[in-house]
Amino acid sequence: MDNQQASLKVIEDLQKVLFRMVTTTSKNKNSGGDETSRKLEIINSRLLSLDMKVDTKPGYPQTLAIGVAAGALLQRANSVLPRVVSGVLQIWSSVGRVANASVSSD
């Protein structure tokens, strides 16, 4: 059973408990409406939390696509980075030579 099926099973079980609670509460006239309302609110918030968790987790295809994109980006950065570092070092050495030339000519 994968994560989504397990989450759906938990939601289904919670809905069954909610249904049983409502039917037994309606049969039992001694319990107050405030308590039932509070219980329903708690169960509803738990269901919403579970539903949000199921909706926000990426599945296997999305995770694979993110990994492939990250790998391609790293490969591209790996091929470009030596050129960028070389260019920065050339600029640094040129600035150093110009600075040394201006100091020695003064």
Helix axes 3-27, 33-56, angle to 10 degrees: 170
- The answer to whether residues 21 and 39 touch, using CB atoms and an 8 Å cutoff, is yes
Residue spans per domain, the chain? 1-57, 59-106
| The most confident of 1-5, 33-37, 67-71, 100-104, by mean pLDDT | 67-71
pTM above 0.85, yes or no: no
pLDDT tens string 87-103: 999 999 999 888 888 77
The model's confidence at residue 37, banded by pLDDT at 50, 70 and 90, is: confident
